[in-house]
Structure 1
Amino acid sequence: MASAGLYFKHSTAHPLLKSFAHYLEVDLENDNFTQEVENVARFMYFMDPKQPSLLFVHQTERTREYFNTLSEVGLSKQTVHNYIKSVKILTEGSLQPKDCWAVLEAANKDFLAVIAKLTGPRHVRGHHLTLPESQLVLYYLEAVLILRHLHRPGVVEHMTVKDWMLRKPFHGKGGHVVVRVLDHKTATQVATFALTLEEEMWFDTYYTEVRPTTKAKRKKTNEGEDDDKEPERFFISSTGNPIYNASNDLERLHKETATKHMSDTQRSMVADYLMHSSSSAEKMDEQQAYDLLLQSYPVTLDSAPPKRSERVSVAKEHDRHCYDRWRGDQKQLRVQHVLHFGRRQPSESRVRSWIEKQGWTANVPDAALVVKAWKPSGRVDTAMESHSMQKYIKKQKWKGLVAVPEEGKGRGVVATRAFQIGEVICDYHGKVVSRKVGIETHKSTIGMESGYMFFYKDKNDQSKCVDAHLEECECHPGKQTIGRLINHSSKRANVRPRLYSLDDRDVILFIAQKGIKVNEEILYNYGVSKKSFAGEGLDLDWL
């Protein structure tokens, strides 16, 4: 695990992990809770080295990669199962988004009372509401979009009157209305949510009764200023201006309602989920400033960093910190975008060429650093999907390997560069024939050539053989394939064969099962049945 970087973990003193430990020890009465928490701390570090977060529930591929890596480094099935069990306990028994709905549930009674005051038989107009009542309606509707409909604060802040007026009815399943927020600056796609008819009534009551009253309080800074320069925002603060920070409004709702009905542990976890702490909401720190900047200027592959005036208006005195961090996150995002070369490490020249094609003129990743940071990506069973991997197999130009004389073995294969765990080394190349034909060829050959036969079972459980007894295969005349020269070792094996398919033809790839150093011999375990060169064949459907 150390060679794969899987021993790194977050501090178990982090509030999220402390809350998980409390849940295990007190609620589940788990005596071994310390090990469970450490398992989760390592998992969360793999998912996000910066800080523990519950956002991993949206990262299915990354989660699968973690557990596959645990298997690849040689952990037993029971150990991997224990890691999965620990994460499952966290997701099932710890904080869920529905727990954050406690904020809505706690405020629901007071909110409905205000709505009834505006829509009931003896209804009043919006200007008769007190300031706390108007703010409750505003904060609650913002919370509905963030907590119940799972939209980012930026969507709430940039929703316009036009977006609301263009809502469309949907008559299925009890009736809904669909609202599309076209320009929310948090992503390229349109944000869409479907309100129930009751929710639509709430929003429309706010729009027709509460919003006009708060909008009337707006003070113009310049005589005759043009209100049409910016789209008219749907949500208006008590000052009459568009809301500034939906996350802060959510925190205010949380403080004023949910804190009265929650335990200390639940309150702490909800506050963490809302990305605020109840002790620091009054004064913006660097993290809060950066979160706020990202709502208006999200980090993307091709976007330019926000200008200084734009940063100062949002991040205040933290503008320089936010600028450096924004550029750093963008460069890391670009590095991750470049690191798409599957299960075979790319050369510097290849990475440099690929980066140049992106058209980036500033904040460009260094090709050498990208290669240094490269790790095999994707699941092992999808290795053949890489176009470059298919080229290696078809052209038989495997780099980083050399055939050398080995005392007492004839020839062997040695690494001329380091290989990482999970990386594809090469294939066992030859003519695929039936087991019967393989046995006949084996009997008819003499000397060393009789050893170059790989017996296996295909995906249909049919016994097959890769016949590589000739120095040169029929499909690559004049070229010696290197996989056939890999020697056997049951104790020092550092690669393992796995069966794939390419153009309806079986392909056997050797994948590193541990880190391989320069000048280290490549070895794999032939298996007990390999002694006869014609046994039932190796089990290639591992992992």
Structure 2
Amino acid sequence: MPEFMEALENVKKMNCIDKDDGNTILFYLECLVVLQYVQRPGVVKNLTMEEWLSRVGSDRIYNGKPERLVVMGVKNHKTASKQIATVFLNGEEEKWFDIYFTKVRPAFIKHNEESEAFFISSSGKQIHSVSNDITRFHHRFGLKPVTSQAARRITETCIAPQLKSERQRYCFSKFLAHSNPTAENIYREKIIGDLVESYDILRPDSIYISKPTNSRDQEDITTLPEVGKAMEEMQSRKKIKIFQKRQERRYFKNSKLSFQLPIQ
């Protein structure tokens, strides 16, 4: 996603954070958690500073390459209070979150009014509506908005039929916070192992992902990776429109001049 990566680079270089760059990073991370990792908006809104700082990393070898995964537990979300939602990030995504945490978030804070929420808006307060932010981000690039409910429904439709064992179904359900452990158990080694397995089920190159057959799901399947592609297409279309407008102005100008020339 060119604009997101450009915003990251700008933020890393500058001491004074541009609001547009900060919002680009914020909105993208919201989309990442809700659309790619199919968590409820409440998970994003209620992720706390303490939960971010308490994240646990897991290093392993995947397909012959070293890989870092990070898990965070979010206690306050839509489901029952005794359950906890889990958010997974890979090593690169953890760095993106850290840039938001160390650069963008401090710039958004107003008058030293600290908030317990990890994600705060440019107003300095806790995000009012994650769903609205995601919708605005889609509209920014001319995309049809995808809701968290649609993302979760599509994910379940595509993946659930491919899961053959009870363990796979158990891990997948746990990842979606349908059947999660209590907060006291979330960071135990066995639980993290289960969550890593569910992360593998959901990764983009997973063998468990199939295309939806439902026409409604096919229409709504504009997920996070396609936002980057759409951005590139929008930038190309913008260049084409600028070129076309210039050509139209030239044509109009030439037509006007030719009309004013006396007939020989």
TM-score, normalising length: structure 1 = 0.25
The one of 95, 107, 124 aligned to 2:14? 124
Shift of 1:253: 0.6
Deviations for 1:379-424, whole angstroms, at most 9, x for unmatched residues? Answer: xxxxxxxxxxxxxxxxxxxxxxxxxxxxxxxxxxxxxxxxxxxxxx
Measure the CA separation in 2 of the matches of 1:254 and 1:187: 30
Preserved contact between residue 155 and residue 184 of structure 1 (Cα < 8 Å)? yes
Counterpart residue number, 2:138: 254
Q: Structure 1's 212 and 251: CA in aligned 2 closer, same or farther, altered over 3 A? A: same
Task: Tell me the percent identity.
Answer: 34
Deviations for 1:234-270, whole angstroms, at most 9, x for unmatched residues? Answer: 001111011011000101111112x1xx5xxxx3xxx
Counterpart residue number, 1:114: 7
Shift of 1:147: 0.6
RMSD: 2.2
Secondary structure of 1:179's counterpart equals strand
Measure the CA separation in 2 of the matches of 1:179 and 1:275: 21
Preserved contact between residue 142 and residue 246 of structure 1 (Cα < 8 Å)? yes
Counterpart residue number, 1:184: 77
Deviations for 1:267-309, whole angstroms, at most 9, x for unmatched residues? Answer: 3xxx364579xxxxxxxxxxxxxxxxxxxxxxxxxxxxxxxxx
The yes-or-no answer on 1:158 pairing with 2:46 is: yes
The yes-or-no answer on 1:198 pairing with 2:92 is: yes
Secondary structure of 1:171's counterpart equals strand
Preserved contact between residue 251 and residue 274 of structure 1 (Cα < 8 Å)? no
Preserved contact between residue 149 and residue 193 of structure 1 (Cα < 8 Å)? yes
Secondary structure of 2:27's counterpart equals helix
Q: Structure 1's 272 and 143: CA in aligned 2 closer, same or farther, altered over 3 A? A: closer
Gap runs ≥5 in structure 2: 151-264
Measure the CA separation in 2 of the matches of 1:124 and 1:160: 26
The yes-or-no answer on 1:237 pairing with 2:121 is: yes
Counterpart residue number, 1:48: none
Secondary structure of 1:175's counterpart equals strand
AA aligned to 1:183 is: N
Preserved contact between residue 11 and residue 104 of structure 2 (Cα < 8 Å)? no
Structure of higher RCO (CA pairs closer than 8 Å, 6+ residues apart): 2
Measure the CA separation in 2 of the matches of 1:274 and 1:198: 23
The yes-or-no answer on 1:136 pairing with 2:24 is: yes
Q: Structure 1's 191 and 207: CA in aligned 2 closer, same or farther, altered over 3 A? A: same
Measure the CA separation in 2 of the matches of 1:151 and 1:249: 15
TM-score, normalising length: structure 2 = 0.51
More helix, by proportion: 2
Shift of 1:217: 5.3
Q: Structure 1's 235 and 273: CA in aligned 2 closer, same or farther, altered over 3 A? A: closer
The one of 209, 219, 229 aligned to 2:103? 209
Measure the CA separation in 1 of the matches of 2:93 and 2:54: 16
Measure the CA separation in 1 of the matches of 2:103 and 2:42: 24
Gap runs ≥5 in structure 1: 1-107, 221-226, 277-543
Counterpart residue number, 1:168: 56
Deviations for 1:410-461, whole angstroms, at most 9, x for unmatched residues? Answer: xxxxxxxxxxxxxxxxxxxxxxxxxxxxxxxxxxxxxxxxxxxxxxxxxxxx
Larger Cα-atom Rg: 1
Shift of 1:184: 2.2
1:8-87 to structure 2, matched below 5 A, reads none
Deviations for 1:63-82, whole angstroms, at most 9, x for unmatched residues? Answer: xxxxxxxxxxxxxxxxxxxx
Measure the CA separation in 1 of the matches of 2:80 and 2:111: 32
Q: Structure 1's 272 and 216: CA in aligned 2 closer, same or farther, altered over 3 A? A: closer
Measure the CA separation in 1 of the matches of 2:109 and 2:9: 22
Measure the CA separation in 2 of the matches of 1:245 and 1:252: 11
Secondary structure of 1:170's counterpart equals strand
Shift of 1:130: 2.0
Preserved contact between residue 217 and residue 239 of structure 1 (Cα < 8 Å)? no
Counterpart residue number, 2:36: 148
Shift of 1:143: 0.6
Shift of 1:205: 0.4
AA aligned to 1:177 is: V
AA aligned to 1:153 is: P
Counterpart residue number, 1:448: none
1:331-410 to structure 2, matched below 5 A, reads none
Counterpart residue number, 2:221: none
Measure the CA separation in 2 of the matches of 1:177 and 1:275: 24
Deviations for 1:135-193, whole angstroms, at most 9, x for unmatched residues? Answer: 11111111100011110001111000000000011002311111111222433411112
